[in-house]
Every structure is written in C-alpha cells, then in structure tokens.
Structure 1
Amino acid sequence: MTFKTSFVALAVFAALTQSAVAQETPDTGTNKNKDIEKITVTASRMDKSPSSIPNTVTIIDRVQLEEQFRTTKDLSTIIGNLAPSFSPSRQKMSNTGETLRGRPPLIMIDGVPQSNPLRSGGRSGQTIDPAMIERIEIIHGANAMHGLGAQGGIINYITKKPTGDNQHVVSFDATVPDSLKSNGVSFGASYAFSGESDLIDMLGSVSYRNNGVYYDANHDVIGVDTTQGESMDSQSKDFFIKLGHNFAESRLELMVNHYNMENNGDWMPVKGDITTGKPTGAIEEKQPWEAANNQVTTTSLTYTHENIAGQQLSVQLFNQDFEAVYGGGCNKTFYDPALANNSNLVQCEGPKGESWYYEQSRNSSVKWGLKTSLIAKNIADTGIDAAYGIDLFRDTTEQALVQTGLSWVPESTYDNFAPYLQLDYDLITDLTLSTGVRYEHAKLKVDDYKTLYGAGNKEIEGGEASFDETLFNIGISYKITPDIRVYTSYNQGFGMPDIGRILRDGNSFPGANPSISDSLSLAPIVTDNVEFGADYQGEFLSAKISYYRSATDYGARLALNSDGFYDVKREKSVIDGIEANITAYLTSNDDLGMNLAIQRGEYDSNDDNKTDTDLDGANISPNRINLFWTHNFDNDMSTRVQANYFMDRDFEDATGEKYAEFDGYTTVDASFSMPLYTGTLTLGVQNLFNKDYFNYYSQTMGTNDRYFKGMGRTATIGYTVAF
C-alpha cells in the first residue's frame, strides 16, 4: 500500500485554496523583513546587524527552522533549502563533499569550531541535534573572522537560551515512508526545560532519535554506506545544558552539548552498476565489524562584560572532544601480510581471491581554544568602531585502525596564535568602510611514524612545520536610500589541507629518507574572496543579489582513488558564482519567494598555473533554484510549499571532453501546522510527488559501491506542547 500521489496533491491543493480564500488586504504597517535586523550576527565578531556586513549573510531563524522540521530533521537539507549555494545533503552520516560556494565551510556551535582541521573525516555536520538550535547564522565566502577553516564561509549554530520563565517543552515526531514498511518508520522525542532564580538561569534538553530504513521512490531500500557512515538504521541521543549568571554589567555562561549517533549495523550494501543505471542497494545482514558511530562533546565557558573602560569584553574558553568510527571493509588499503594469519581478525576474500581481513578506522580529535575580543564604539568621537583581540587554538588528532591498532594517521598537534583587529568607519552619511587584519601563526608537530603497508610501509621522520600568514579584509557598504544598499568586499580565508590524508599517503613523501619538513603539501590554503552585492528591503519586497569570485593558488581538491578513499591534490582553483533571493510579502499572511545559486569552478590539472578542468561534485555544488510559498492563517495555522530545482550540468576536462554529467531533478515538499489543545500539531510530506532520482553526489562522484538514489516520499507527523 502506498500514498496515492493524487490524494496527497489534492490535500495540498485544498490547503492552498483555503489559504487563498483567507488572504487579507496587505498590512501597510508591517515590514516582516525588518524583524531580521533585530538580530546581531555574533559570527561577525562585532555583533553587527546583517545589513551592515559587506558580505552575503543568511539568517535562519527559529520560525524557519520549525517550518523545515515539519518535513526533515537533517541540518544539511535544511541549510540547502534556505541557502542554495550549500550542497544538497547526501542523506548519510558523512557530510564529505558538502560545500558552501564550492569550498568547505567552518561549522561552529555558539562560536566553537566543529570542523576538524587536521583530519576532516566528514562528520562535522553530525555534532548536535537540531532541537537544540535557536537559529543558524551563515556568512557566505572565505573569511578569517574565526581563523582556521572558513574557506567557503561560516555556519554558526546558535543554541537556545533560557527564557526567564519556568517552562517545559515536550516534542514527538514520526516519519513514515511511502511504502509503509514498518522498518522504514523513524521517530524522535525531546524534552526541554528552562527556568531562572536569583542566582542562576538554566536551560536543559535531551533528545532521542531512531532512524528507520530509507526507501527510494520505487520502494527499494537505499544502499548503505558502510565506509563513511550511514544515518539510516541508526540511533542518536543528545544532552544539552546551559547555565548562566548575570552580574550587574556582566554575564558568565556555561554550555555543554553531548551528541552520540550510532548505526545499528544490520544492513550490508549490494553493489550497483553505473553503466546500466542499477543503484547500490542493501540487504539485511549483520556487518562483520563495529558499526559506524559519532560521539562529540562540545563545551564552552563564556564571560561577557558590557563596560570595561567603555568597551565590551567577551572571553570564551572552549573544548571539543570528538570521536568517529568509520565502517569497515575488505580492502587493500588496510591489509598487512604480517597480520594475515592473526586469528583475532575476521578473514575475508579480496577481489582476486586474496586472503584479506576486515578492518576499519577511528578518528579522534581534541580541540581547546580561547577567544578574546574587545569592542569599542565611536572611539574618541571619531565614528570609528573597533573589535580586537587574540585567539588561541590547539587541535590534537589521530586516526588509528580499530581491529589491529595500527596508526593510519599519526598523532598530530596543531597550535595556532592569532591576534586580530577589525574597524568600521562611517566615511560619510550612509557610507561605511570596514577593514581588518588578522595575523596567523600556526605550528604543526608530528612524531616519527610509519605508513600502512598498503601506503608503502614508509618510515617517516617526524618534526615541526610552522606557518605565518597575514590575512586582510576590506569592504564598503553604501545605503543609496533607507531601503537600498550596495556593497563590495575583499576577504581572505585561512585553512589547512586535510593533513591526515596527506600524512597517511606514502606518495606524499618521495625520496629515500622522507621527513615531515620535506613535504611542501603541508603548506596552508589561503583563499581570496571578492564580492559585489546589492540589497533591497522594502515594505512588500526584499531582494538580494551578489556576485563572488573565490580563488586560491594552492588549494586542496578531494580526489577519489581506486580504494574509495580520497586523496588531497594541491592545485590552483577558481570558483565564481551568483547568489540571489527574492521574497514578496503578498499580504500580511503570505510570503512568496525564490532563492538562486549559480556557480562554476575550475582547477589547474597540469600545473601550468592556468585553471582548465571543471571541479567535480565533491568540490562544487549544483546550480539550483528554490521556490517557496508560506501562508499564516489568523487562527495560528500555517502552510508551506517549497520546491528544489537542481539544474543539469556537464563536467569537462582540460581537452573539453565530458568526464561526468549530472541529470538534474526537482523535488517538492509541503507542510502544515495547527494549534491542537495546548500544543502544536505539524504534518509534512517530503518529496511530495515521489520523484525517482540519483542524488547529486552519486551522479557526479559515485562508484558502484556508492551509487545511491535519493529518498522517496515520506510523511512526518509531529506534536509539541509547552507547559
């Protein structure tokens, strides 16, 4: 039995028809777009409003999050729905290949970096449950506001804050696939409490989510990724607490979030065939290794003071303890003949009948950091605002094999010291100059180690490598009228290549006596981002458009090798694109909008300092248009319909030959919310018309083991009550 497309479409049409009947004349006293200006962008380091930053900024507030939660709890999908220059979700535990403007973004929780600079691992998108998030700040384009990693921009998850009232909130939701198969049902629950006393304010939350099996539009089980990690047939738990105390002019706040996601390991992949269009499938069979999992604890202690010699002070001490286990496999990369007869290892057969064994890896990373900043407003009545401070950062990472205990990536320690200064100056009325400088001193330390047998079994001499970079930014913003703004900016971003991929690859260290100091591949990535944009914020319409160009002379492109793992290629690359969004406030209750992202990118394939080959699907997002219509009823009911149109794309090499192609597709989601008793009932349908498609990553980077289809139609029902 399946949901009938005609029935679902009829129900949505009826809801929209009612919306049209319920429309009122425009409320000329309402400008919904001005509400966003009440929010300051904390990721800017100067707590500025979005319209005062000379970059493209996207704020996803709690209302928008709640609308998206009706159909999905996947944060990558949500960000892509509202900021289309972000890659479409892979619908897996790993977010490898998910980029912002074609480059990896820095993901943070309340300013605490989640991305791992030494060994990415692709799990930075799975470190917090969405129920804990109040809003998401996205600053598009490379920048150095928070130092390391923001080559594509910054995605900052701002967690909830205590309300000041004693309140409890309980939420439940369940998702059912179109096939109505019982093993495809997903469900989740969360409980949150908030309160305060004279001494302390507090907010705490716990959540649990159980993901069922994913089905495609043909009611077939979607293939599992047993290497990088699978989110279907998994369970996740999140514990979150925030404690704060307000002094006369200051505040001390502690935040702790612990997130754990574990795959059940009950499904094995069935190889597909790209040449015949056969997708990778799955069969119910216990995995012969530890199932993939993610465990992350993020902690921050923040002290703020409103008046230190007339300046605002912020000091944040943070820690992140990250551990990710990746699925196992029978592959040449992990095989060592010296261990072939070890009775403690589960034996398997290689592609040519070799006697190999199952193995997998665990990535462990511990980060410590201190962020300090002082903000001075209108210094000496000059109209100059300044933000300045020093950031300290340490990351220690190691990736070891789970079964044999061999080190795949040796323990590596990265230390970073970075003072910065940011200035804003009103040159004339409505014309603001923003400029800043950040000095990065970084040191990498690696002990002596030996690569795996499959990577040459090389003895590598350890050592230290240090880097010094001075990064600049400058931008001008001009308000032509109170509603129209134009801006331009130049920003530099600083990042490291995925050092783990370099260190574990014996080819990175040629010569008879290789050492860390001889490898130029450890040089940092400096990305230059130039942007031109314009905003209009009117009473009945808001519109934004920007053009950007992102370039690096020594980038870090991910290249898939024959074992299914990625290597890092250090090459010149250039990406340019256009972003635009338009929202029309048709009435006080109706919003109609469009988001657009067009981008193209090339890299230098032959080291002649000229870009000549299209970046592939692991390194650039598809061109897409997102459309949406929301309607709010007078009785607090609301509806939303949204469509994602992904455009066709061909990928060409230096000779002009097509080496890959993407067959675009369109998906539609619809959702409904209404008050019920003392709570709120939500209904949502994802992939409303049950579109059958291979996802973007599979089409452009897929192998027979990872040729996955996207999820078919699913229906979600949820209920939230506060008391």
Structure 2
Amino acid sequence: MKKTFTYGLLVAAGSAAMSAHAQQDQDTMVVVGSRTPTQISQIPGTVWVVEREELQQQVHTGADLKTALGKLVPGLDFGPQGRTNAGQNLRGRDVQVLIDGVSISGSRSLSRQFDAIDPFNIERIEVLSGASSLYGGGATGGIINIVTKKGEAGPPVLETELGVTTGFNDSNDLDRRAAIGVSGGSERISGRIGVALQDNGRQYDASGDEIFPDIAQTDLQDNRSIDVMGSLNFAIDANQTLDVSAQLYDSGYEGDRGVYFPNLADGPVQGRNNNLLHDAEIRDGFSADREPRTQRKLFNLNYHHANLLGQNFYLQAFHREEESSFHPFPYADYEDDNANRRIDPDEQVNGYYFTTSKQDTDLSGIKALFSSDVTDSVNLTYGVDFDREEFAADNMSFDPAITDATGGLVQEGTGTSPRYPSFQIDGMSAFAQSEWWATDSLKFGAGIRQQHMDVEISDFQDIPGGENDYDVTLYNASALYDFHNGHQTWTNYSEGFELPDPSKYYGNEGQSVSDNPLDGIKTRQVELGWRYQGGDWLTQAAVYYSWSNSSIEVNENLSISQTDDKRRDYGLEASVTRYVDTHWEVGGTLHVLASERKIDDDWEDRGITDAPYPSQDTATLHVGWSDYQRSLRLQANHAWDYTDYEDAEIEGFTTLDFIGSQQTGYGKFTLGVSNLLDKQYSTAWGQRAVGFYSPTYGPEYLYDYQGRGRTYSLTWSHQY
C-alpha cells in the first residue's frame, strides 16, 4: 500500500465513528452481522453503529444523510453532496443499502440509495464493512442497514423539529425543515408515525457563486422532500410478535432556476471547437415536462416466533416501488445521428437536442430464517430468500425549436421511447451459517449461500432480448478470540457478488443476450481485525484485502462492458476515541486503501471513471466537550488526492465543521457551521463527472459540481 506508512501517525492521532452519546459497549445488539439480533462482541467482523443522537448532530450542520454517514463511518467515502451517491463506496466497492432489512439498492444502480429516508425517522444505522452475501448481491464492499424508529409501550410521545440552513449569500439561499412524530401504545400494540419535510433553496460555493445544477445525476437545490414513515408492533403472545411498517417518500425539484445556453441555436458548427454549450448561466424561468424526482413506496412485514419447533423463526415479506426521474440532458446532433461518442474536432455538429429518462423499479420478496442452539456451544442459522425485481425505463424527448428559442430553459415534451432494455430478475437462494464456541474465548464460524438468478431481458430497439440463468456458491469462514479484558481480535474470509447492470450491459448495439450472456462478479476478501473497549478508550481497526477476476468498464456512450481484468483493493480501516475526564473526548476516522486493476500484466491504479469509482483516502479528526446540558464539537474532514494510471486526478480537500447545542426547558437548540473556513473545492463527483461527460456532452464547467461554501444551521428539537 503506497500511503499506509505516510499516514501511520494519524492512526495514533485517532479515528472514531462513535461519540460519548453513541455506542457505549460491545453488547449493543445489531442484525447486520448475522440477520438475527447479535451482540457486536459476538461478530467476527468490522461493525459500526451510528446512533440517533450522533446522526442528528451531523444533520444539524445542514448535512444530508449520505454526507453525515461519510463523516462518521470509516471506510465509507465522503458524500458527493448532490442527489446522487455515485462514487460513495465502502472499502472501494459497492455497498448495499437497506431500510429495516429491505434492499434499497438494485441491479440497475441509480445511486440514490440515500435519497430514500429523512434522518428524523432513523433510530440507528448499522454498518458491516467488507464483502458479504447475507442479503444477496451488491454487497461487495459492505452493508448499511438503516433501522427506523418504532413505537414503544407507554403514554403518547411527541417529537418535533424545526431548522433552517443558510450561507447568507442571497434571499434564495435558505433551506428549511420541519418534522413531527407521534408514538406510544400498550404492551400488546404500539406504533409510531413520523412526517418530515425538507425544503431547499439555492446553494453557493465559497466564492459566493451560485452552484451550477448537476444536470447529469441531479442535485438537491430547489428540492422538496417529504418522508412519511409509520409502523405498528403487535405482541401476539409471549413467543410471537408482528411488526408492520410502511413508507411514502417523495423528493423532487420544485423551483424555476435553470441553465440558460445563449448560443444553443447557433449551429451547425465544428465538433470539439463548437461553442453551443459555452457561456451558460443560471436564470429564472426554467420548466420541464419531466424534472428530477425520486418517489418511493415501501411496505415491510416482520414476524418472529421465539419457539417454533424449538427454534427462533423469522419471516419477512416486503414490497418496494421506486420511480426516478432525471434532468434534461444535452446530446450532440451529428450528421450521422450517432450522438453517444467522443466529438471529432473536424466533424459537423448541427446542434444539441435534450432528453431525460424516468426509471421504474419494483422489488418484492419473502425471507424465512430459523436459528437454534444445537448444543450449548454450537448455533445453526439457516433459511431461504425469494425475490423478484422488475425494471423499466423510458426517455422523454423535448421540442428542439422551443428548447433552442429559450436557451434550454423551457423543455416541452414531444413523446417518450424506451431508454434501456426492461428486465425481470427472479432470485432464489438458500443459506446456512454455523458458530461454535470451542472455548470460552475462541469462536469459529462458517457458512454457505447458494444463489440462483433467472434474468429475463426484453427486446430493445434492434437488439433481441432473451433469458440468462446465473448461479453462484458463496462461502465464509471466521475466527474470533476474546481476551476477556476488553480486547478482541478476529480474522475472516468472506465472499460477495454483484450482477453487472443488465440494462446498461445489454443496451449496447449488437449486444444480444444469446451472444453475450451476463456473468456475475464474485469478490473474495480476507480481513484481520481488532477492537478494544476499556477505561477511557473505544477503538477498532482492520486490515483487508479483496479481489475479483473480472471488472466492469464504462464505455464512451455510458453503457458498460465486462472485462477479464483482475481487480484488487487493500487497505486499513481504523478508529479510536479517547475520553478525557467526564466532559472531553477526542477522536476521528481513517481509511487508507489502494485500488488497482491488472492491465497488460501490471497492477495499475484504477481509472477515476472505472466502475465502481475508486475511492480517495479519507480521515476525520474531532474534539468534543459536553456536560449533558450543552455540547461543543469541532471536526476536520480531509480527503487526499487520487491519481490513476493515466495521471487523471481527483483533487482532495479539507473542511472544518462546528456544532454546539444547548438543552433548555423549551427544547434543544443546536447551532451548526459547515465548511467553517469557507473552503473552495470541487466535489469528488464533480471531478469524475468531467471525466465522464466532457467533452462529449459539453464543456467541463457544466459538470464540475462544486462544494458548498460556509453555511449556518439553527435547529430546535423537543420531545414531549
């Protein structure tokens, strides 16, 4: 690893994902490590828990969910700030995001897993770092399980929250949020309903300039989101419980600010030297018949029987519907009508036309699991999973005459056509996991998962569809040693897999199912870890090495191909918190890794636009003070430069945040200052987007999404 020793001193300085108000001991119960409630101290792997108070502390600086998690979870990249979480990987690979065990990820990755729930409705977040097959495919880097708030027995409890965020740049530089939740019930029936509203204004960089909209993946400027989350919990008898929850989530653009292209109607011009998309500015008057939006409906049912055939039995049934729309996007109109390719400087461009897509995903499934103690020292967990995923997408075209006449501000739809091949994936899997306490200190574990997938692809344009079956067998093995003095160490071997996006894989010209059957990519990982809690210390660290025998390559037209290039990621993920007397603490996070691809028999740093995108090394450092009525926290966030094998670079940055709170008889008041030093920087996503989209789809400045400058947030929260 090229930089491990360079940053070694930072490990001593510290890294922590948990504050004094977060995880206090290793006996915290989580489900992410084994799909059944398990103490962290019993899990032979790297597990992080972000508790509600710690998450809210970050959110009260104006951060959204993905930004907050990027600063709290070692191994998870910093959030890209827009709507997308593209490039926000865990240990350099894809992460599977769940809400109460229901996958929010999909085979067609839209990178909107965190545009999924308001933090107000979150109880805690469980993170399992590293390759895993516990919940099916897509978790080659790890699993993030978002656990929602539930009602408890007792009199009604009312939660309220009001907040504002601004950088004081303009009257429209104002974000507002409001939330209310009610919970309570009896010993037999309890429930909760929470409603959260977030209404964003415009955003400005450190220079005071309005940030250009992310026309590629969309952003959260002028965005309004509403999250309605409800649950009912039934205690049927001493052994049986039934939990039912549902969610409605709607997050979409509600403004009238857009990008104005003054030269749009000046074609035809010559290729790379054309200026049709140059000199753009942000103006009022934007409207489109299809605007950026994420809509989701989720239903989840969980049944538990504590003594069915002498075993614990868990049954889960779920259904998720998701609709995602994008921003109107420019395509060059060539004489040969082939828009999706690099611009030839000598080729004539007649002009640009705009289209945008809407992509629909439905996911339904049933999971059944038994867990029992075979002997006093041996536990066996086994079960089956069934799920069906359906995907469809269409493209809306806009009237080019109206688009040109208004400089792209008015986009009037003229019709729709298929955007990608539709597909249906039926998954069926069986698994078994065993644990054996060989002594009071030493535990061994081993497991197997057999996954079968039927992939059915619809006809698309002149490309015939077809069917493809995929089978994979995945293994894991582990050992955990408890020293019974606060120290634990573990080692494990685990396997995970991913199915390359069928819509982008089969959307290529001539890429038929029969001629190019899709292969899954298996990722293998070994890990060595250690954690310690004792006295005034809370620490955890792991080194890991993961590898796979094939890679995904993004083509010039943004479709994907599968190559035989081998890939490896190896690194260090670490944390430490030091509590000083009863009021002070200091800590941070650190993740250092190398992400490489074998090209012509040589290991090279992966390209900045490879899929999934390579990660930057990151670290945070914080110092905090609290007397339980008031608190102060100063934290630094740093991302190092990343340079790939072609010398393309993602520049790093350092930002500071401040958070202070005061508890009063009228509620809790929190003041947060984000980007305290007003640092000017380009987000990691913005720099990658330049590599993806420019010059084929326009000049660099259109896609170089900037980081937000200094902002101030004031939040009031109260529980009655």
TM-score normalised to the size of structure 2?
0.86
1:319 aligns with 2:319: yes
Instruction: Summarize deviations over 1:542-564 as a string: whole Å, max 9, x none.
Output: 2221111111112324x363x6x
Cα distance in 2 for partners of 1:501, 1:335 equals 25
1:662 aligns with 2:654: no
CA displacement at 1:207 relative to structure 2: 1.3
Instruction: Summarize deviations over 1:348-382 as a string: whole Å, max 9, x none.
Output: xxx955255421111101000111111112x133x
1:467 aligns with 2:470: yes
SS in 1 for 2:538: strand
Name the CA shift for 1:616/1:95 in 2 (closer, same or farther; >3 Å): same
Kindly indicate whether the alpha-carbon contact (under 8 Å) linking 1:386 and 1:421 is maintained by their aligned counterparts in 2: yes
Q: What is the letter of the counterpart of residue 467 of structure 2?
A: E
- Structure 2 equivalent of residue 516 of structure 1: 513
Report sequence identity in percent: 27
Q: Determine which structure has the larger helix proportion and give its number.
A: 1
Kindly indicate whether the alpha-carbon contact (under 8 Å) linking 1:279 and 1:708 is maintained by their aligned counterparts in 2: no
Instruction: Summarize deviations over 1:513-566 as a string: whole Å, max 9, x none.
Output: xx312114x111111111111112111112221111111112324x363x6x45
- Structure 1 equivalent of residue 42 of structure 2: 52
Cα distance in 2 for partners of 1:443, 1:361 equals 26
Cα distance in 2 for partners of 1:709, 1:388 equals 48
- Structure 2 equivalent of residue 11 of structure 1: none
Cα distance in 2 for partners of 1:207, 1:566 equals 37
Kindly indicate whether the alpha-carbon contact (under 8 Å) linking 2:640 and 2:652 is maintained by their aligned counterparts in 1: yes
Kindly indicate whether the alpha-carbon contact (under 8 Å) linking 2:22 and 2:54 is maintained by their aligned counterparts in 1: no
- Structure 1 equivalent of residue 66 of structure 2: 76
Unaligned regions of 5+ residues in structure 2, if any? 1-19, 262-271, 273-277, 339-346, 398-414, 695-699
Which residue of 605, 621, 631 corresponds with 1:638?
631
Q: What is the letter of the counterpart of residue 50 of structure 2?
A: I
- Structure 2 equivalent of residue 567 of structure 1: 560
- Structure 1 equivalent of residue 6 of structure 2: none
1:424 aligns with 2:421: no
TM-score normalised to the size of structure 1?
0.85
Name the CA shift for 1:594/1:504 in 2 (closer, same or farther; >3 Å): same
Instruction: Summarize deviations over 1:412-452 as a string: whole Å, max 9, x none.
Output: 100111110011111122111111000001110112231xx
Kindly indicate whether the alpha-carbon contact (under 8 Å) linking 1:171 and 1:719 is maintained by their aligned counterparts in 2: yes
- Structure 2 equivalent of residue 446 of structure 1: 457
Matches within 5 A, 1:29-40: 34-40=24-30
Q: What is the letter of the counterpart of residue 111 of structure 1?
A: G
Q: What is the letter of the counterpart of residue 229 of structure 1?
A: T
Matches within 5 A, 1:270-289: 282-289=282-289
Cα distance in 2 for partners of 1:225, 1:158 equals 30
Matches within 5 A, 1:671-686: 671-686=659-674
1:217 aligns with 2:206: yes
CA displacement at 1:470 relative to structure 2: 0.7
Name the CA shift for 1:580/1:307 in 2 (closer, same or farther; >3 Å): same
SS in 1 for 2:355: coil
CA displacement at 1:663 relative to structure 2: 2.9
Unaligned regions of 5+ residues in structure 1, if any? 1-29, 339-350, 451-458, 510-514
- Structure 1 equivalent of residue 343 of structure 2: none
Instruction: Summarize deviations over 1:376-426 as a string: whole Å, max 9, x none.
Output: 12x133x11111100111100011113432112122100111110011111
SS in 2 for 1:410: coil
- Structure 2 equivalent of residue 719 of structure 1: 716
CA RMSD of aligned residues (A): 2.6
CA displacement at 1:674 relative to structure 2: 1.1
- Structure 2 equivalent of residue 689 of structure 1: 677
Q: What is the letter of the counterpart of residue 500 of structure 2?
A: P
Instruction: Summarize deviations over 1:301-348 as a string: whole Å, max 9, x none.
Output: 11011111321111000011010011112315999979xxxxxxxxxx
Cα distance in 1 for partners of 2:182, 2:335 equals 50
CA displacement at 1:270 relative to structure 2: 7.0
SS in 1 for 2:38: coil
CA displacement at 1:42 relative to structure 2: 4.1
SS in 2 for 1:406: strand
Which residue of 119, 138, 143 corresponds with 1:130?
119
Instruction: Summarize deviations over 1:632-652 as a string: whole Å, max 9, x none.
Output: 115x11122111011233222
Kindly indicate whether the alpha-carbon contact (under 8 Å) linking 2:30 and 2:126 is maintained by their aligned counterparts in 1: no
1:206 aligns with 2:195: yes
CA displacement at 1:287 relative to structure 2: 4.2
Kindly indicate whether the alpha-carbon contact (under 8 Å) linking 2:673 and 2:713 is maintained by their aligned counterparts in 1: yes
Q: What is the letter of the counterpart of residue 493 of structure 1?
A: G
Cα distance in 2 for partners of 1:640, 1:335 equals 59
Kindly indicate whether the alpha-carbon contact (under 8 Å) linking 1:279 and 1:707 is maintained by their aligned counterparts in 2: no
Q: What is the letter of the counterpart of residue 532 of structure 2?
A: Y
Q: What is the letter of the counterpart of residue 608 of structure 2?
A: D
Name the CA shift for 1:550/1:335 in 2 (closer, same or farther; >3 Å): farther
Cα distance in 1 for partners of 2:190, 2:348 equals 63
1:497 aligns with 2:500: yes
Matches within 5 A, 1:142-221: 142-165=131-154, 166-179=156-169, 181-197=170-186, 200-221=189-210
Which residue of 362, 370, 374 corresponds with 2:358?
362
Matches within 5 A, 1:382-401: 383-401=377-395
CA displacement at 1:696 relative to structure 2: 2.0
Cα distance in 1 for partners of 2:33, 2:279 equals 41
SS in 2 for 1:37: coil
Q: What is the letter of the counterpart of residue 310 of structure 1?
A: G
SS in 1 for 2:422: strand
- Structure 1 equivalent of residue 291 of structure 2: 291
Cα distance in 1 for partners of 2:307, 2:672 equals 47
Name the CA shift for 1:353/1:287 in 2 (closer, same or farther; >3 Å): farther
SS in 1 for 2:172: helix
Q: What is the letter of the counterpart of residue 537 of structure 1?
A: Q
Cα distance in 1 for partners of 2:102, 2:52 equals 20
CA displacement at 1:40 relative to structure 2: 2.6
Name the CA shift for 1:718/1:438 in 2 (closer, same or farther; >3 Å): same
Name the CA shift for 1:335/1:719 in 2 (closer, same or farther; >3 Å): farther
Kindly indicate whether the alpha-carbon contact (under 8 Å) linking 1:101 and 1:620 is maintained by their aligned counterparts in 2: no
Which residue of 644, 648, 652 corresponds with 2:641?
648
Cα distance in 2 for partners of 1:682, 1:281 equals 36
Kindly indicate whether the alpha-carbon contact (under 8 Å) linking 1:420 and 1:437 is maintained by their aligned counterparts in 2: yes
Kindly indicate whether the alpha-carbon contact (under 8 Å) linking 1:298 and 1:321 is maintained by their aligned counterparts in 2: yes
Kindly indicate whether the alpha-carbon contact (under 8 Å) linking 2:23 and 2:50 is maintained by their aligned counterparts in 1: no
- Structure 2 equivalent of residue 604 of structure 1: 598
Kindly indicate whether the alpha-carbon contact (under 8 Å) linking 2:460 and 2:507 is maintained by their aligned counterparts in 1: no
Kindly indicate whether the alpha-carbon contact (under 8 Å) linking 1:224 and 1:281 is maintained by their aligned counterparts in 2: no
Kindly indicate whether the alpha-carbon contact (under 8 Å) linking 1:651 and 1:661 is maintained by their aligned counterparts in 2: yes
- Structure 2 equivalent of residue 580 of structure 1: 574
Kindly indicate whether the alpha-carbon contact (under 8 Å) linking 2:33 and 2:43 is maintained by their aligned counterparts in 1: no
SS in 2 for 1:504: coil
CA displacement at 1:145 relative to structure 2: 0.7
Kindly indicate whether the alpha-carbon contact (under 8 Å) linking 1:45 and 1:387 is maintained by their aligned counterparts in 2: no
Cα distance in 2 for partners of 1:586, 1:207 equals 37
